[in-house]
Amino acid sequence: MNAFLLDLSVYEQVIFYSTLFVFLVQVIYYVFIYGKVARFKVEENNYPEGDEPVSIIICARNELENLKLYLPLILEQEYSTFEVIVVNDCSSDNSQDWLEKMQAIYPHLKVSHIKEDEKFSHGKKLALTVGIKAATYEWLLLTDADCKPESEFWLASMRRRFNSSNEIVLGYGGYFSGKGFLNRLIRFDTFFIALQYLGFALCKIPYMGVGRNLAYKKSLFIKNKGFASHAHIQSGDDDLFINEVANSRNTAIEISVNAHTRSMPKETFAQWVFQKRRHFSTGNRYKFVHKFLLGLEIFCRMLFYLGIILLLFSHNLLYIGLGLFFIRMLIQLLVYAKALKKLNEKKLLLFSFIFDIILPLINIFLYTVNSFNTKQHKWK
């Protein structure tokens, strides 16, 4: 092997060693970080004895149709002691009347109304703060008005990780499966983001959660003074908050199928891009180590593909390039197949090769656009 490498030109040696290095970085990420999600032990239908009282909080702005669809499913969870707090945030539809009728049917439903103020505009963080302050219980479970719990045991499944040492439980919020390339692109993007934040949490480096399915203690929120440090930013009620308060000792994950939520993905590419840009607007405020680790994987992935292309154009290194490409592809397939099954995502595996290349390019483009346009976007 040494003799073979010595026979290569300096250019070929640089390409070989560079590609080998980024290949090894990719293997580390897939085996030791993302692979932890694929290997995570799921305890379906195994619920702890004794119910921890829980406050479920939902912020809604003009979400009447979604509330009609999904709020009854949340109110009728198989759980003994819980309340559901809906913060009706400046809705101009018929949400208030409908919610008041629902309160007569479900005594554990509490509703807080925020009236529109022409002199003062606010984002979701204020609505969420109102809901948290109204909560009776220590454990808070957050979801959105357009999210459907996967089962009547959603709350019981998330409660499985509530204990004295945990203060945060990260769940999975996926999107409904549908037809078309965009639907698969959005679902795979969501799946891969989950691989990242769930995998890093299992490595004791938690850095974010998603508000579609997230639990934490009320005392943690109060101790951190809520969203005070980033109250001026419209988004970040989930990821920035978790980035500040999560650590290696206080964070757990729950990804059993019964613990998932689902919502409708965006229907057009423009809507999805707008949503992505809003999420990217908080990324610059992550801790440096988190930005470095997330950026390193994407950077090495792009260099890997570039290196493989260059190796394939080298007569001496053609087979080495093919070997590295197929080894990484095999590792990736194994991790994706198991993780997709754990997260109950279907018909995405065959598209993973395409998305593995184009999603980083889309993300880099949107990140660059956001760097030049810092305008904040309202949550609804």
Categorize the per-residue pLDDT at 5 as very low, low, confident or very high, splitting at 50, 70 and 90: low
> Model confidence over 187-213: pLDDT tens digits?
999 999 999 999 999 999 999 999 999
Residues 22 and 87 in one domain: no
Question: How far apart (Å, rounded) are the C-alpha atoms in residues 50 and 365?
Answer: 49
Q: Which residues of 93-119 are buried (b: 16+ CB within 10 A; e: fewer)?
A: eebeebbeebeeeeeebbbbebeeeee
Q: Is the pLDDT of residue 319 over 80?
A: yes
Domain that holds residue 217: 54-269
Do 22 and 104 share a domain, yes or no? no
* Residue 283, in any domain of the structure: no
Q: Assess whether 243 and 95 both reside in one domain.
A: yes
User: What pLDDT score does 8 carry?
Assistant: 76
pLDDT at site 6: 61
Instruction: Give the confidence band of 366 by pLDDT, cuts at 50, 70, 90.
Output: confident
Show the beta-strand stretches assigned E in the chain.
54-60, 82-89, 109-114, 139-144, 148-149, 168-170, 173-175, 214-217, 251-253, 261-263
Count of structural domains, the chain: 2
Q: Above 60 in pLDDT, residue 139?
A: yes
The enclosing domain of 63 has a CATH number of 3.90.550.10
> Percent of the chain at pLDDT above 70?
94
Residue 339, domain member (yes or no): yes
Does residue 379 lie in a domain region? no
| Domain identity same for 265 and 124 | yes
In a domain, 282, yes or no: no
Is 274 or 132 the better-scoring residue by pLDDT? 132
> Which of 224, 239, 269 is at the close of a domain?
269
pLDDT of 372 > 80? The answer is: no
pTM metric for this prediction? 0.93
List, for residues 90-108, the tens digit of each pLDDT value: 888 999 999 999 999 999 9
Write the DSSP symbol of residue 120.
Answer: B
Distance CA 377, CA 273 (A): 12
Has residue 277 been placed in a domain?
A: no
* Amino acid residing at 378: K
Going edge to edge, which strands form the sheet with 261-263? 148-149, 261-263, 173-175
103 shares a domain with 76: yes
At 111-134, the pLDDT tens digits run 999 987 766 667 899 999 999 999
Identify the domain boundary among 241, 269, 297: 269
Rounded Cα distance, 366 and 133, in Å: 35
CB contact at 8 A, 285 and 241: no
259 in the same domain as 144: yes
Q: What letter would DSSP give residue 351?
A: G
